[in-house]
Amino acid sequence: MRNKTRLNNVLKDSLLELLGKRLNFSAAICDRHGQGESHHPGMAPEAVAFARSTEEVSAIMRLCDEHNCPVVPFGTGTSLEGHVAAVAGGLCIDLSEMADILEVNDEDLDCKVQAGVTRKQVNQHLRDTGLFFPIDPGADASLGGMAATRASGTNAVRYGTMRDNVLGLTAVMADGKIVKTGGRARKSSAGYDLTRMLVGSEGTLGIITELQLKLYGIPEAISSAVCSFESLEAAVNAVMLIVQSGIPVARIELLDDVQMDAVNRYSKLNYAVAPTLFFEFHGTEASVAEMAERVGEIVHDYGGGDFQWASRQEDRNKLWQARHDAYYAGISLRTGCQGWPTDVCVPVSQLAACILETRRLIDEANLIAPIVGHVGDGNFHVLFIVDTENEDEMERAAKVNTAMVEMAIGFEGTCTGEHGVGLGKKKYLVREHGENAVGVMRAIKQALDPKGLLNPGKIVPEL
């Protein structure tokens, strides 16, 4: 339940002295900062502070600590599980103006950026260096937000997630102290791994303000392909064998027939309305050709059609933009309805069973819900297209969502592969990790944020 207003007049005056016009009380701005891209109800903060430096975030947090004011960090607002809802009121700290790329170390393949830099901005900056940052969740999210939610995306099967690609970071803690973790070395055995603790903490343990990121060389050759299948089962089984064969495909994306219909309509394409795999291969000309040949043999064995290739950059961009637009394409299937995106991740050997049963449950519940997935690492998404005013429909969607999550956990998977916990998934944490492990999470939260000021109500379920 939302607490009473805690942004008192003394704190307001102190923040105004610090920030001037960059402290905003507009109802429209506050509403925008209390709502991500999900069905979860928005909860607006009482004011939004636009910070421009780590030192400024530190000064804001010291004031909020002094006045017991809750704080919610905000990047671009693309989160999907209610992460930015100000459930206790208070202040939102918007980091979007912290958008400087501080250094690029070409020889060591790393860079340092402020938290408000987006993934597209960093890759645009790197375009003449021959390097790129590969984590691609689809939305042009801020890198600070991507680290906070431990984002993943289409390239994770080859390049890993944000957990694997953040070398170090700077964070402001609940009392305003500035902490620097990690460094530029590719490995370290020095002390607790504070970097990994803060990556994925969703703003509940500290506010990430700077990141040291791994970079990669742009491959000599990149080629993308699309292939349709007669059945969802055949497509998923092909993915499982490709992964188990150790073929280092950069991307393997699954779109079911419902999603392909939506993509065709929204992005003005003419692919077959059938379960479809999107592939991308990175490497030398020879290695890309070899990978494509091996994947093509497996696809053929499972009844897949011929590859439709996209080797030119503009064609690849069009193809992957269509994949990234899947969320908006799905929503467009029903006028006046909202999207309820959810995800799970399972061991690859259990992928077919989990996806097929989920599809059956969706159809049985008479719901419109496309399935897409970064299936190379066992992660898939369901987008329920729902009328949020229809209680029966929302209840049916909730039952399918719970069944899918319970099934994934039963397969020794997870309730969320990349969306994060936020408000939406925290009720499943004890089921997935056990009460003892969740108790350790509570103890860490209590130790680092004893007043409960940082993004309250998220991740850790209340006792």
Confidence grade of residue 198 (pLDDT, cut at 50, 70, 90): very high
Percent of the chain with pLDDT over 90: 87
Q: Please, are residues 118 and 139 in contact by the beta-carbon 8 Å criterion? A: no
pLDDT, residue 154, reads: 87
- Of 51, 56, 87, 119, nearest to 204 by C-alpha is 87
For the stretch 285-311, pLDDT in tens is 999 999 999 999 999 999 999 888 888
Question: Which of 62-66, 269-273, 452-456 bottoms out in mean pLDDT, i.e. has the lowest?
Answer: 269-273
pLDDT, residue 135, reads: 94
Q: So where are the chain's domains?
A: 9-96, 101-217, 219-424
Confidence grade of residue 39 (pLDDT, cut at 50, 70, 90): confident
Mean pLDDT, residues 439-453: 97
For the stretch 362-371, pLDDT in tens is 999 999 999 9
pLDDT surpassing 90 at residue 170 = yes
Q: Domain spanning 9-96: which CATH class is it, in words?
A: alpha beta
* Rounded Cα distance, 231 and 250, in Å: 24
pLDDT, residue 5, reads: 52
pLDDT surpassing 70 at residue 86 = yes
Confidence grade of residue 284 (pLDDT, cut at 50, 70, 90): very high
pLDDT surpassing 60 at residue 2 = no
pLDDT, residue 3, reads: 45
Listed in sequence order, the residues at least 6 apart from 335 whose beta carbon sits closer than 8 Å to its beta carbon are none
pLDDT, residue 463, reads: 60
pLDDT surpassing 90 at residue 87 = yes
CATH architecture of residue range(s) 219-424 = 3-Layer(aba) Sandwich (3.40)
Mean predicted lDDT score pLDDT of the chain: 94
pLDDT surpassing 90 at residue 320 = no
Mean pLDDT, residues 86-105: 97
For the stretch 234-250, pLDDT in tens is 999 999 999 999 999 99
* Rounded Cα distance, 51 and 19, in Å: 8
Mean pLDDT, residues 130-136: 95
**Do the domains at 9-96 and 101-217 have one common CATH topology?**
no
pLDDT, residue 376, reads: 87
Q: Please, are residues 124 and 161 in contact by the beta-carbon 8 Å criterion? A: no
Its sign, for the CA torsion 437, 438, 444, 447, is negative
pLDDT surpassing 50 at residue 385 = yes
- Of 378, 377, 428, 379, nearest to 401 by C-alpha is 428
pLDDT, residue 319, reads: 83
pLDDT surpassing 70 at residue 167 = yes
For the stretch 406-418, pLDDT in tens is 999 999 999 999 9
Beta-strand pair 178-182/166-172: antiparallel
pLDDT surpassing 90 at residue 92 = yes
Q: Write down how long the chain is.
A: 463
Beta-strand pair 71-74/91-94: parallel
CATH code, residues 101-217: 3.30.465.10
